[in-house]
Structure 1
Amino acid sequence: MTASTTRRTTAKTRIAAVGAIAVAGTMLLTACGDQTDKPSKASSSAKASDSAPLADLLPQAIKDKGVIRVGSDIAYPPVEFKDDSGKVVGIDPDLGAALGKQLGVTFEFQNGTFDTLITGLRSKRYDLAMSAMTDTKDRQEGIDSETQKKVGEGVDFIDYFTAGVSIYTKKGDDQGIKTWSDLCGKKMAVQRGTVSHDLAKAESEKCGSKGKIEIEQFDNDLEAQTRLRAGGADAGSSDFPVAAYAVKTSGGGKDFQIVGEQVEAAPYGIAVAKGNPELRDAVKAALDAIIENGEYAKIIAKWGVKDGAVTEAKINGGS
C-alpha cells in the first residue's frame, strides 16, 4: 500500500509464508468496534514500579499518568481484535502489555478507523499508533503517496514485525485469480487506506482493455470479508497474517482460500509523532529488551507468525 499516508505497506519483495498462523486460529472469535468504544487496556497491565527497568526513559508526563494511549483499528485479527467477551486481544495488545512491563505503564488501546490514526497522533489524541501499520518513507515524511504532496509533519516508526500482502477468494471459487493482474475486470473488497487498497488502485490503472478493477472499500477488514463471503465481490486482500487467519477461522475454514503468492513485504511500525524522540527511544529500548529476554518470541509464536519476527528494533527502517 503505497498510495496514502495512512496506509499499511509498500516494498516490492516477497517473504516466505507466515505459515502456521492457524495455530492460534481457533482460539478466539472476532468482533469489531468503532471510534466511540471505551479505551481497552492490553492484558497484563503494568504499573510503574521497581520491576519496570526502563521506566525512567519515558517522558515525565507519561510517567505521571502511568498510561500510554495507543490508537488502533481493533478489527484486524489476529493483529488486534476483540474476543467474544469484548476484550482486546491479538499480537499488538500482547506486545503492548510486554512493553508496558518494561516501561512501568499500561498500554491502553483506543479504537479508531485505520485511516485516522496518524491524524490522531498529530492532534495528541494518541501517544502511539500500533495497528499493523506499515513503515513507509511517505508516512515518515507526511507525504500523500498518490499526490506526492505534503499533508502533515510525518511520524517516526519503531519497526517490530514484517508482513506482506495476500489475495484471497471464496473457497473453491478462485475464478482463475492467481496474481494481481488477474483481478482486471473483477470486483474486489478491501479495507480503505491499506496497502491492498493502494495495490488494487495501481493495478486497475494498468488493466487496459481487460477492464478496470471494481474496488469496494470498507472501514475495516472484517466488513470487506463479509462482502466477499456474501458473494458481493470476487476477491479480497489483506496483510498475509490477517488473510491467513481469516482463511483458517471464517466458517470453520470453509469460507476462503489464499490464491497466489504474498507480495509487498515490509515492516510494521509503532508510530510516534515527530518531535517526541524521548517516547520513541523509550519504546525502542523496551522492544529491544523483550526481544533479548525472549518474551517477544513467545508472543509471536503464540500467534503462529514466527516468520515475521524481527531480531532487533529499528527506527524508520521502511522504504
Structure 2
Amino acid sequence: MSTAITRRTAAAALGLAAALTLAACSNPDDGGTTEVAATSGSKTRINISPDQNRITTDKVDSIAAEVPQEIRERGTLELVQSSGSAAPLNFQATDNKTLIGVEPDIAHLVADVLGLKPKFHAVSWENIFVGLDSAKYDAGFSNITVTEERKEKYDFATYRQDNLGFEAKKGSGLKISGPKHVAGKTVAVQSCTNQEKLLVEWSKENEQVGRKPVNIKYYQNDSDTYLALQSGRIDVYLGPNPTAAYHAATTGKTEVVGTYSGAGATLQGLIAATTKKDSGLVKPLADALNHVIENGTYAKVLGRWGLSDEAVTKSEINPPGLPKTDQ
C-alpha cells in the first residue's frame, strides 16, 4: 500500500506540474501556431495549421509481422477517436477539418512501425466502444483510461499518464484535492467517462459522512460547459488535465484548481490504445509503442504538444486500472 500511495503522490505532483507549466497564447500574426511552455520553462511553438509535418518513424518488419493477417492484407489501421474537440489531445486545425493533436500523432507513429496507413474515424464517445465491440474499428486512440471494468471487454497498450483537472472560473478561490472540496458544489462532467465515475464515487462518499452530495451536470459540448462556468451555473468542470490546462492558458478566463490521478487515490492512471479483447492486436500495438519510446520519436511528439510530463517509460499491456465501484 505504501508503494501505491507513493505513486499517487508522484502522480499528483506531475499533474500539478503539467497544469502549472502548460501555458499558451494565440499568435495573431500567423494564425497557424500557438505557444506552450516546455518543462524547462522555454517556449514551445505548436503548429495548429493543417500542414502538420508530423514526426515519423520507419517500419519494423518483426513488429509488423505480429499484426493479424486480415489487417496486414487490408493495409490500413482503422482508428477511432472522439469527435469532441479537446486541444491538445485531438482537435481540428485552423482549416476546421484536419484532425490534429497528440493522440493522432502517437497513432501515426504506431502505424508507421506497423507499416500500415492510419485511417481515422471521429465518433461520439460512446460510439468509440460500440465500434470496437463490432470490430468496425481496430483500435481507439482517444485519451481512453485503463479501468478494471473496461478490461473485461477490451485490451490496452498504455502510452501516457492520465491525470484529471478541475477547472474553475479564474479567481474562484477553490482548491480541490478530495471529495470534501466538491461537497455541495455543482460540477460538470462528460458522461460515460472515468471522470464521471470518480465524481459519482466522491458524491457518495460525501453523503456517507454527512456532507452534501455533488450536484453533477452534463452538457452536450465544451462550449456549453464553459458558458455555464462563466455564468456561474456550475462551479467546476472536471475533465482531462491537459485540456483543462490548455483551455485555461489560451483563454485566460479559467484556472486549474486541482488535479487527480485518473485511476483514483492509490494508483497512477494510464491512457492506452484500446482494442477489442483477444483481437490479437494489443501486443503489436504495445511493441510498436515501446519501439517509438526507445527510438525517441515518442518523446518528440509529447514535447511538440507540451505534454512531456505525461510520458511513460514503457507501454504495458492491461496494467491495473481504475478499480470497479463497490456496490
Q: TM-score, normalised by structure 1?
A: 0.78
Counterpart Cα distance in 1 of 2:217 and 2:237: 10
Aligned to 1:22: 22
Q: Which amino acid aligns with 1:102?
A: V
1:144-183 matches, cutoff 5 A? 154-174=153-173, 179-183=178-182
Number of aligned positions between the proteins: 280
Matched, 1:56 2:61: no
Aligned to 2:92: 82
Q: Which amino acid aligns with 1:112?
A: V
Structure 1 residues 35-66: Cα deviation after superposition (integer angstroms, max 9, x where no partner) = xxxxx9x975989xx95534332222222222
RMSD between aligned alpha carbons? 2.9
Counterpart Cα distance in 2 of 1:189 and 1:138: 23
5+ residue gaps in structure 1?
Answer: 1-11, 30-39, 142-153
Q: TM-score, normalised by structure 2?
A: 0.76
Please give the secondary structure, in 2, of the residue aligned with 1:191: coil
Aligned to 1:224: 225
43 and 24 in structure 1: CA distance in 2 versus 1, 3 angstrom threshold: farther
Structure 1 residues 6-52: Cα deviation after superposition (integer angstroms, max 9, x where no partner) = xxxxxx924123526626674459xxxxxxxxxx9x975989xx955
Counterpart Cα distance in 2 of 1:25 and 1:88: 20
- Is the 2:167–2:255 contact (alpha carbons within 8 Å) kept by the matching residues of 1? yes
Aligned to 1:192: 191
Q: 1:274 aligns with which of 261, 272, 277?
A: 277
- Is the 1:165–1:239 contact (alpha carbons within 8 Å) kept by the matching residues of 2? yes
Q: Which amino acid aligns with 2:271?
A: Y
Aligned-residue sequence identity (percent) comes to 26
Deviation at 1:244, TM superposition (A): 1.1
Matched, 1:13 2:24: no
Please give the secondary structure, in 2, of the residue aligned with 1:291: helix
Structure 1 residues 205-240: Cα deviation after superposition (integer angstroms, max 9, x where no partner) = 233454322111234555433432343211111122
Counterpart Cα distance in 2 of 1:287 and 1:155: 18
- Is the 2:164–2:238 contact (alpha carbons within 8 Å) kept by the matching residues of 1? yes
5+ residue gaps in structure 2?
Answer: 1-6, 27-32, 36-49, 322-327
Aligned to 2:215: 214
Please give the secondary structure, in 1, of the residue aligned with 2:192: coil
Please give the secondary structure, in 1, of the residue aligned with 2:120: strand
Counterpart Cα distance in 2 of 1:135 and 1:43: 30
Counterpart Cα distance in 1 of 2:223 and 2:216: 16
Deviation at 1:275, TM superposition (A): 2.2
- Is the 2:170–2:253 contact (alpha carbons within 8 Å) kept by the matching residues of 1? yes
Please give the secondary structure, in 2, of the residue aligned with 1:70: strand
